[in-house]
Amino acid sequence: MELALVIFLFVVGIVFIVKGGDYFVDAASWIAEVSGIPKLIIGATIVSLATTLPEMLVSVMAAAQGKVDMAIGNAVGSVTANIGLIMAISILCMPGKARRRDYLKKSVLMLGAALIVVLSGFMGQMGIVVAIVMIAIFAVFMADNLLEAKRSMSATRTDSTRSIERPKPERREIIVNIIKFAVGTVGIVWGADLLVDNGSELARFIGISERIIGVTVIAVGTSLPELITTITAIVKKESSLSVGNILGANIIDLTLILPISALVSGKALPIAPASALLDLPACLLVGGVAIIPTIFTQKFSRVQGVLLLAIYTVYVAITCVVIGA
């Protein structure tokens, strides 16, 4: 009976995140169209802040309980999964051009934050000073997005042709999309929580170790909002929203979740040797493969997608077989 309930809740979680993702992307796309803000900016800010809620809750609660390995592992592991799995899927399904000016600042900030985390790993901890530096990077990221949004909205208002094409939305339309955005957010987060909790229970029934559960179910599970948003964006052909969401979510994971975890714990976050030698470099590696070639070629290629999936597969295999042994 207990197993049947776990399976039922697992399925409910899938339904919630799928339907929630559908509402979420629809509402986010509507916000971009009505406001004139580029979908890349919407994806990197509003969508990313909402889809990183599971990582934020898990990491901060873990830090508050003294479970620093889980706090760091969840945030960094989510970034690796976001790029090596989710962004790879997006690139494979929707390769295309990427204007350097749209992605350069966000890419540099993400790689810079990942490099700081790797250096912290070599030092064995993330101190309060480093946490403050990371929060400053987050502030720069948000300020840049707000300025870009302001410029885009100003350009839209001065373009009479575009103003005609974008009629003022009715009150009912605004209310409906706000509700869809809120319901979508709740559905994604609640669904991800159900999927992670009951997926872990299923894994235990099958006899999978806690270490493997952490690397697979928890790391990927807390990234499910990004995955569902990406899959929904692929179906709706909203590639900018998808990539913007992933870049924004990664920057938030590294520059907001980890520092807040350090501040909540009230002391430097110790970083385990295994994380310093494998998890953190893997995070930086997938970030480099996804971003650096694109900066020069101004496009995402399927080769990148294949390489990212290969790296992520090897990373999970090494973690499970070598460290999990």
The pLDDT score that the predictor gives to residue 124 is 87
Range of weakest confidence among 50-59, 94-103, 240-249, 256-265: 50-59
**Residue with more model confidence, 292 or 2:** 292
Residue 44 has pLDDT above 90, yes or no: no
Name the residue among 113, 39, 75 with its Cα closest to residue 260. 75
- Measure the CA dihedral 107/21/153/34, to 10°: 160
How far apart, in whole angstroms, are the C-alpha atoms of residue 155 and residue 145? Answer: 15
* DSSP at 66: T
The predicted-structure confidence for 247-284, as pLDDT tens digits, reads as follows: 887 888 888 888 888 888 777 788 878 788 888 899 99
Burial label, 127 (beta-carbon count in 10 A; 0-12, 13-18, 19+): middle
160 Cβ contact partners less than 8 Å away, ≥ 6 residues apart: none
pLDDT single digits (tens) 7-28: 888 788 777 876 776 787 678 7
Which is more confidently placed, 298 or 42?
A: 298
Helix, coil or strand: residue 302: helix
Residues contacting residue 277 through CB under 8 Å, at least 6 positions apart: 121
pLDDT value at position 160?
45
Whether 148 shows a pLDDT value over 80: the answer reads no
Number of C-beta neighbours around residue 190 at 10 A: 16
pTM of the model: 0.72
User: Are the C-beta atoms of residues 279 and 312 closer than 8 Å to each other?
Assistant: no
316 or 34, greater pLDDT: 316
Select the more confidently predicted residue: 18 or 134: 134
C-alpha span between 227 and 242 (Å, rounded):
9
pLDDT at 164: 45
Angle at 210 (CA atoms; ends 209, 214), nearest 5 degrees: 120
- Residues 196-223, mean pLDDT to the nearest whole number: 67
Residue keyed to tokens 């971003």: 291
Percent of the chain whose pLDDT exceeds 90: 10
User: How large is the angle between the packed helices 171-206 and 53-64, nearest 10 degrees?
Assistant: 50
**96 - beta bridge partners?**
300
In the predicted model, is pLDDT for residue 230 greater than 50? yes
Q: What is the Cα–Cα distance from 194 to 151, expressed in whole angstroms?
A: 40
The chain-wide mean pLDDT, for the chain, equals 77
